[in-house]
Structure 1
Amino acid sequence: MTDFAPWHAAFPSPQTTAPLIKRDEALSLLSSPEFLLVDVRRTDYEGGTIRGSLNLPAQSFYMNRAVLHRLCKAAGVKRIAFYCGSSNGRGPRCAGWFADWLMQQGEEDMESLTLEGGIKGWVKAGPEYEIEVDGFEAEYWRQFE
């Protein structure tokens, strides 16, 4: 049996740990044009995604940091929060890479964040969060109870 390196081994480790944003704060910002949620899941995109979030799979995110920065700058987005299933791996890694990029560019008007608890925490937080999930599949989320 061959051991394979994890997908992220091909990229440098993030130098920055992006701060967490709590679910309730993110919920209150969903309709703000200055806030963007980025879902970095790829194959586990089942069950739905938080309304208005952009899907940029973690496996290709590192190469697209500059594009996201340019798009956010043009749109006036100031706070970008990343999430994956539980925000313990891909979400914080991508948030860190983006924070590194912002720092390298001298960008002080944008903030990179990690959504605390990821989408699993979001869904577990109750009905007011579930209704903000496009394509919500209650049956899918029962496996995580």
Structure 2
Amino acid sequence: MATTETPAAAPWHAAYPAPKAEAVFIPRGEVLAMLKSSPLGKRDFVLVDLRRNDFEGGTIRGSLNLPAQSLYPTLPTIYATFKAAGVKKAIFYCGSSRGRGSRATSWLADHIAKEGDTEMKSLALEGGIKGWAASGPEYVEWMDEYDEKVWSQTSA
């Protein structure tokens, strides 16, 4: 009796073109310094939390939650909104910034290049939210809705 294997479902991002740009990472210490020196409403950067199903344990203060799964079709609108707001750095992150974070960073970088924009940069947060939460109290104090139980489970 022959068995048939069910093909694995394609990942969500397979529906969109692969990014051309290589993701550029920004160190979390640099982002922390930016947060400390720029009050909300006076920033030329935006933090974008890409988590959807795993959105738990807290987020970096002031971040927008734009789940990665809905990002690609809205890139022109996101870019136009960021541009109108004077954003110079769009900083994306997910759990580790190695999947959704680096992909979103590269997609926006591609769009920025297509627009011929030399002022806006698209960056991925080094280590993602997991790295941020594991970096100690100085970082955790810049998180909203921080839940230590979530982070102690992910590091175990």
Q: Equivalent of 2:34, from 22, 29, 34?
A: 29
Kindly name which structure, 1 or 2, has the bigger radius of gyration based on alpha carbons.
2
Which amino acid letter does the alignment assign opposite residue 149 of structure 2? E
5+ residue gaps in structure 2?
1-5
**In the alignment, structure 1 residue 81 sits paired with structure 2 residue 91:** yes
Q: Name the count of aligned residue pairs.
A: 145
Q: Secondary structure at the match of 2:91?
A: strand
Q: Which residue of 1 aligns with 2:124?
A: 114
Q: Which residue of 1 aligns with 2:66?
A: 56
Which amino acid letter does the alignment assign opposite residue 104 of structure 1? K
Q: Which residue of 2 aligns with 1:43?
A: 53
State the shift of 1:18 in Å. Answer: 2.5
Q: Deviations over 1:46-101 (max 9, x none)?
A: 10111011111100100111111111111111001100001110000000000000
State the shift of 1:2 in Å. Answer: 4.2
Runs (4+) of structure 1 exceeding 4 A deviation are none
Q: Secondary structure at the match of 1:15?
A: coil
Q: Which residue of 2 aligns with 1:4?
A: 9
5+ residue gaps in structure 1?
none
Q: Percent identity?
A: 52
How high is the TM-score relative to the length of structure 2? 0.90
RMSD (Å) for aligned C-alpha atoms: 1.0
Aligned counterparts of 1:2 and 1:110: Cα–Cα separation in 2:
40
State the shift of 1:41 in Å. Answer: 0.6
How high is the TM-score relative to the length of structure 1? 0.96
**In the alignment, structure 1 residue 133 sits paired with structure 2 residue 138:** no
Aligned counterparts of 2:70 and 2:28: Cα–Cα separation in 1:
26
Q: Which residue of 2 aligns with 1:19?
A: 24
